[in-house]
Structures are given as C-alpha cells and as structure tokens.
Structure 1
Amino acid sequence: MDVLRERRRTVSAQGAELAVFEYGMDPDPSVPSLLLVHGYPDDHRVFQDVLRELATTHHLVAYDTRNAGQSVASGKTGTYTLAALVDDLFAVLDALDSASVHLAGHDWGSIQGWAAIQDPRAAGRITGFTSISGPDLRHFGRWLRGAARTPRRWPQLAGQLTRSWYVAAFQIPLLPEAAWRLLLTRRYEFAVRRSVDDNPGRGLALYRTNLFSREPLPPFARVAMPVQVVVPTKDPFLSPALVDGLDTWIDDLTVLRVEGGHWWPATRPADFAEVLRTGLLPPQ
C-alpha cells in the first residue's frame, strides 16, 4: 500500500494561487513537521520519493511555487521577485496547522529558504533549515567579490563563472523557451524522472526578474537557527567552495558533502531522508 496519501489545498497569496500538498502524519506537537520547497525547472513532485521515505514519521508539506506546476500567478513578471516568493512561503506557513516547521529547499527553493530564515517572520515558525544546491544570493555576491579581490581564489572564481553560464543565457528573449520545448524537456524528464511545466517562461522569470536586477534583495541578517548545507560534490552548476564564509554569519552551521549531482534529492531520496531524519529532525 502506498503510504503517500495526498491532501491538497489552495493558498492565496498576493498575485498567486498556490497549490499546497500535505502528506504523512497529521499535524501534532509530537510529530516533526517539514516544509519542502522545490527549484527550477521542477514542481513539488521532485520530492515524491523522499516524502514517501518520511511519511510514516513526519507531517510533510510541499507546494508548487508561483512559477511552477499547478500554482497560478497573475500580473507582470515583477510578481516573481524573491520578496514575493518569500511572502508565498509565509502564506503557506500561515495556512498550516503546524506551529513550526523545519524548512528544506533545493535549487531556487533553497534560495527562497535563505531569504525566509533571515526574515523576522521566521522567529518561532521555522526551527531549522536544510539547503541543497541553492546559495543565499547576498552571500553569493559577497563570495564573488571576495574571490575577485584574492588572486589565490581566482581559479575558484573562474570555475564558478564557467558553471554559471546558463544564468546569462536565460536572459536572452525567447531562445531559452524554445530550447526547453524542442531539446531539453525530454532529456530532463529522463534524467530526473519528473515532468516539466509546459510554460518554461514562468520558471525563467526567476532568473530574469531576480538576477542582474536593481530590485533590492531582502535584508541580510545573522542566523541563529540550525542550518545544514548539503553540498553535492558533482553539482555542475555550483562550486563546493560557495560554502566558504557561511560560518561568519550563521551561528549553528553544518556542512555535509555528499556524492552526487545537482538533483541529489531526487536521485538519492533515501540518503536525503536520512539526512533530515537523523540530522536536523530528531524525534520529538
């Protein structure tokens, strides 16, 4: 019998209707609650296998972000700002029966998570954070500037800039959408075993709105809650060196290097579940 019984609801946020999915145990103070946020070009289904691993012991929540899956956003491209995405996350938290959650994010879900845990609204509601393959944007900028000023780090800088080629490519009008429709969708589905949204422009708006933008980032703040950063050592997009300097503004930091690529949470769900189960989500 499949233990992954799904309960769906719709949560309204400014300019969006978010599809939210709950699994596993019912909310209860004795049951750990976990909120998982996906990245690009995924939707909540990228976590299905790890949700199945944890369903008998945890209250689990995942949702399609406003650029993906069954969620719907209205308005102009500006509705995809990082600030709007963080507001969505807290709108989902407001709708839950759980008093607090551990937050886990992958790719753009992790980027949103970094901003959320530095938001004053996180106090008492987010008890810890697990980040996989998605840096804090303000730390990323600080890391790039520091590497540029330090000659011995120039090889690291060159390596990360090479890995980030797609960020500039995504700024080109129409071409990335055509590439997804004609070339990349089937390859991605085969590699990660997940479906891709048929409107890739929604996801690309994350890059076009938030990178190379004059829109101010959410405030940069010191973090006291436990933070675990999972670093897949074979990630083709992000250098393992990006964790350098995190300990200067995170009081309780754990860095875990794992064998795998960017989609490690989907390709190694049992390992991901064990990280969550034994690392930052001990039985209550």
Structure 2
Amino acid sequence: MPPSKSTTTSTVVSADGTRIAVYDYGNSGAPVLICVHGYPDNAALWEPVAERLAGDFHVVAYDVRGAGESDCPQSTSAYHLDRLEEDFRAVIDTVSPDQPVHVLAHDWGSIQSWHFVTDPALRDRITSFVSISGPSLDHAGYFIRQRNRAALRQLLHSWYIFYFHLPWLPELAWRKGWAHRAFNRLETQDAEEKRSIGDYVNGMELYRANVVPRLIRPTERHTDVPVLAVSPEDDPFVTTPLQTQVGRWAANLRVEIVRGGHWMPRNDPGLVAQLVLEHTGQVARWEV
C-alpha cells in the first residue's frame, strides 16, 4: 500500500533494471531527508514521522525492493547489500543530485544504510545518519566474535534470523497467519493493513542474501559521517550493545537509549522526529 495522498509518487530505475517506488512529501529547497524502512514494512511506515518533519525537510521515502510498490526480483542474489545500495543511489541521484542528504532508517533500512554510509564512494553524498534498531552486519560479525555474554544474548535474540533461512516453512507460516501471531507475542503491533503478504515473504530474501556471509566473513567498514544510534530499551530483536558499541567504526557517533520497543517509528513518531531534528541540528552547528 502506498503512503497517503499527501505525497507524490514516482519511480526510479536501479542499475539492474529494478523499479523503485519513491514517495515525496514536498518542501522543495529544504534539506533532503531520505527515509529507509525495514522488514516487513514498506514506505508507509514513515508517514507519521514525515508529517512531523515535512516543515523542516524535503522528506523522501521509498519502497525497498521486494516491498510495497517496488519491483520484487525473484533471485536471492538480487537482494544483496550492493544491489540495495544501487537502489539508494538511484533515489538520491534523482531527488538530490547536487546536494548531500540526511538519512533516517529503521531495522533492515538501518542495516543497509550502514552499508551506504561506510562506503567511501558515498561519503560526500550523506550528511548525517540516524539509525534505529539496525546494526551493520559487518559490525555485528565482529561483535559476535567477542564470544562474551553480550554476544550470546544477541544470538538468542536473533533466533528468527536462522528460522528465516529454512526452506518453504517461513513463507507458509506468513501466508497462514501463524507467524503474525508468534511475532506479535514478542511485541504487539497494528500494522497489517499497511503491509501485503509480499512484504513479509519477499523481504526474507534480505536475510538469506546477506546475513550468513557477513557474519562469517565481516569486513572492516568505517565512517566519519555523523551517526546517531538509537536503541529502544525494550527491543526484542536487537540488543543495545550491538547497536551502540560501534565507536570503533563510527568516528562521529552519538548514542540515545530510549524507552519503547522495536517499532518505534510507528509507535512513537514524535520522538523519532525530535531525535532527527536534534541530531541534524547538531551536525549543522559542527559544520559552521
């Protein structure tokens, strides 16, 4: 389901021909804020946040490949992080070809955005990054290698990742509704009306294409982009240490541990908007 009628909708074409649906909340001339959703959401996740930030930013959201109105490639390899980065490039080349953008991301949106901000080729295209409930997979690979209590605790929280790698059963569970009930026991959410079954089923390819290779063979990925890592303290999927103990990789890092659960953009959009304004305001002061 596309975001509300307050947006304008367009399509950009990624390097491999995948069509990406883009939603523009207006305010041309303001700093551009790109919002990247996670799994199993689509760009509609950002509606309440965008409404609060549209006076300060030119807010743009897009459906990640496999979700919403974007194309759904059939091969697992089409969901590799490098393909997701090509989608991001196609979006920013269209909406902000001459100026760098701010990035706000959640869950798998944050995972892929860490890939973007740690790519030297994109350093001059990104002004700031707000990451909510999503680590870099490479950073996670090094974190797990510590083999301490925090790493073990995160592995226990990540049980569902291994489940998503099973053949046919996860797809069947989403289609039958079993998985919805199971995941709602971990954190209740009322978002089904804005998601399609394709958002659930196609998005599992993100895990299958990226998680195991990155955890087994992580690479050192650094950034000096100013990062705000936001960790909801009751997140049942991503522990605070994994999200916040990344100073080794992010030279300009701020951390906010906040009350709430994983679906913070939906459940507390006002706080998300406040954190974005505070972080980008601080970045602007640094640049003066």
Q: Distance in 1 between matches of 2:154 and 2:188?
A: 26
Q: Hey, what does 1:18 align to over in structure 2?
A: 20
Q: Quick check: 205-214 or 265-274, which moved more? A: 205-214
Higher mean displacement: 7-16 or 273-282: 273-282
Is the alpha carbon distance of 1:277 and 1:4 closer, same or farther for their aligned partners in structure 2, counting shifts above 3 Å? Answer: farther
Shift of 1:24: 3.2
- Counterparts of 1:260 and 1:101 in 2: how far apart (Å)? 27
In the other structure, the counterpart of 1:132 is 132
Aligned mates of 1:61, 1:180 — CA distance in 2:
29
Describe the SS at the equivalent of 1:157.
Answer: helix
Q: 2:261 aligns to what SS in structure 1?
A: coil
Structure 1 match to 2:119: 119
- Pairwise CA distance, 1:179: 1.4
1:35 positional shift: 0.3
**8 Å CA contact 1:42, 1:68 repeated in 2:** yes
Kindly indicate whether the alpha-carbon contact (under 8 Å) linking 1:192 and 1:266 is maintained by their aligned counterparts in 2: no
Say if 1:207 and 1:234 are closer, same or farther in 2 by CA, change over 3 A. same
Deviation of 1:6 (Å): 0.7
Relative distance call for 1:97 and 1:223 in structure 2 (3 A) is closer
Which residue pairs with 1:224 in the alignment? Answer: 224
| Cα shift at 1:123 | 2.4
One-letter code aligned to 1:89: F
Counterpart CA distance in 2 for 1:174 and 1:75 is 15
The equivalent residue for 2:9 is: 8
TM (norm. structure 2) is 0.87
CA distance change for structure 1 residues 218 and 94 in 2, over 3 Å: closer, same or farther?
farther
What is the alpha-carbon distance in structure 2 between the residues aligned to residue 248 and residue 214 of structure 1? Answer: 18
Structure 1 unaligned runs (5+)?
none
Matched, 1:60 2:62: no
Question: Using a 3 Å threshold, how does the CA distance of structure 1 residues 100 and 18 change in structure 2: closer, same or farther?
Answer: same
RMSD: 2.5
Q: How does 1:28-39 map to 2 (within 5 A)?
A: 28=29, 31-39=30-38
Q: Distance in 2 between matches of 1:218 and 1:87?
A: 20
Amino acid at match of 1:121: A
Work out whether 1:42 is the aligned partner of 2:41.
Answer: yes
Q: 1:158 and 1:97 mapped to 2: Cα distance?
A: 42
Partner of 1:106: 106
Displacement of 1:278: 1.9
Residues 142-221 of structure 1: pairs in structure 2 closer than 5 A: 142-146=142-146, 148=147, 153-154=148-149, 156-183=150-177, 184-185=179-180, 191-194=189-192, 195-199=194-198, 200-213=200-213, 220-221=220-221
**More strand as a share of residues:** 1
- The one-letter code matched in structure 2 to 1:38 is H
SS state at 2:64 partner: coil
Q: Does the CA contact (< 8 Å) of 2:229 and 2:244 recur in 1?
A: no
Q: Distance in 2 between matches of 1:277 and 1:15?
A: 35
Are 1:237 and 2:237 an aligned pair? yes
Runs of 4 or more above 3 Å deviation? 184-190, 213-221, 281-284
Give the percent of matched residue pairs that are identical in Structure 1 and Structure 2: 37
d(CA) in 2 for partners of 1:57, 1:101? 13
Task: Provide the C-alpha distance between the structure 2 equivalents of 1:4 and 1:121, rounded to a whole number of angstroms.
Answer: 35
The Cα shift of 1:244 comes to 5.2
| Residues 1:82 and 2:66 are matched in the alignment | no
Alignment deviations for residues 204-226 of structure 1 (CA, whole Å, 9 cap, x no partner): 11111112238998963321121
Seen in structure 2, the aligned counterparts of structure 1 residues 171 and 221 have a Cα distance that, compared at 3 Å, is: closer
Once the 2 structures are TM-superposed, how far is the Cα of residue 242 of structure 1 from its aligned partner? 1.0
* TM-score for both structures, normalised by structure 1: 0.88
Indicate if the aligned counterparts of 2:138 and 2:214 stay in contact, CA closer than 8 A: no
More displaced, 76-85 or 184-193? 184-193
- For the Cα contact (< 8 Å) 1:82–1:217, is it kept in 2? no
Residue 182 of structure 1: how far off its partner (Å): 1.7
In structure 1, C-alpha distance between the alignment counterparts of 2:232 and 2:215, rounded to whole Å: 30
Deviates more, 1:220-229 or 1:248-257: 220-229
Cα distance 1:193–1:49, how it changes in 2: closer, same or farther (>3 A)? same
